Amino acid sequence: MELIYILTYNCNFRCKYCDINKHVNNISKKVIDQSLIFLEKNNFNIEKVKFFGWEPLLKKDYIKYIVTNFPKNVKKNFYITTNATLIEENFMLFARNNNIKLTFSIDWNSKTIWINRITKWWKDLSNIIIKNTKKYNDFIRINQVITSNNSKDFFANFKFIYDLWVRKFNFLPEYYSEWSKQWLKNLNKWFNEIFNFYKEWNQFELVNLENYSNISFFNLWLIIDTDWSIYWTNLILSWVFEKYKKDLILWNIFSENYINFQDDDFIRSYIDKTWNILEIEYSKNILNSVKYVDLMLNNFCNKMYFLWNIKD
């Protein structure tokens, strides 16, 4: 099971592909303290703890507090996804000392850098992101988002990041948007190009293989929201699904009882409920095009996994 802490809905970027409803809504220390009690009491089988923002490093002190005080009876594998603009030496030292895996969200080469990224400080932040990526390349992973409007430069963007000596990649095609046939061809072409690049003994790790889900379109993750509510899907983070939160909520961190996540009836019911919402909010064209995107990504991951086994 994976646990996600939502620390804040605020961010210093406004990326076009991010559908989070950005606003100043932060987690409190009271919620954090109660969540730690809740986790220790219920002893969930948690394998990963992830900090989401929409820029989690806006709340570095809370990250440090949670990591330091996390229940000893729960596994401690921490992950942070960040846009890399708020990185500083003291925090990176803390991350290294506590074995926190950091993922920098970088999608671009210098030509396509601001197709999807929006911020009024773009020139300064561009230099900061590149500087931090170069400096910490041995310690970080890269989350490379591929969208319809940058898919034609997918391989060039990958190669740009690779040449910064990054060797751990998570490829994330944009979901819940309609992809044209040409954009899908671009995506497939560059997945094949990256596969061939690896076959030529250019080494890198594919982080996607750690994040495998047997459910397409969404993951089943335990979410602790800023208001102490608890959910079991990451879809509630999207502004599209905010109006369905009351239908998808499980309980809150003050609850005495919790749901059995191993129960087949519960799992089936929750998946069906989430799927019904997806079909209400998105057209068949969008859902069908995303199926192709998901299939391409899965095929790429399977080929890479097979090739790794051969090389090993």
State whether residue 245 is helix, strand or coil. helix
Q: Average pLDDT over the chain, rounded to whole?
A: 88
Using an 8 Å Cβ cutoff, are 8 and 54 in contact? Answer: yes
Weakest-pLDDT range from 92-106, 168-182, 216-230, 249-263:
249-263
Residues 228-253: tens digit of each pLDDT:
999 998 888 888 888 999 999 988 89
Q: Specify the range with the lowest mean pLDDT, choosing from 54-58, 211-215, 244-248.
A: 211-215
Rounded CA Rg of the chain: 19
Residue type, 169: F
- The residues near 184 (Cβ < 8 Å, ≥ 6 apart) are 289, 292, 293, 296
Amino acid code (one letter) for 194:
I
Consecutive H or E run containing 171: strand 168-173
Residue 165 CB-density burial (10 A; 0-12 exposed, 13-18 middle, 19+ buried): exposed
Return the SS3 of 144: strand
Other CB atoms within a 10 A radius of the CB of residue 212 amount to 10
Query: What pLDDT sits at residue 111?
Result: 62
pLDDT per position as a tens digit, 130-152: 899 999 999 999 999 898 888 88
Q: How many CA atoms lie within 13 A of 144 on its CB side?
A: 32
Q: What is the mean pLDDT of residues 8-15?
A: 88
Higher pLDDT, 34 or 124: 34
Cα maximum dimension of the chain: 55
The amino acid at 24: V
pLDDT at res. 101: 95
Between CA 110 and CA 164 the distance in angstroms is: 12
Does CATH number 3.20.20.70 belong to domain 1-105+214-262?
A: yes
pLDDT at 123: 60
pLDDT band at 303 (very low <50, low <70, confident <90, very high): very high
Is the pLDDT at 192 greater than 60? The verdict is: yes
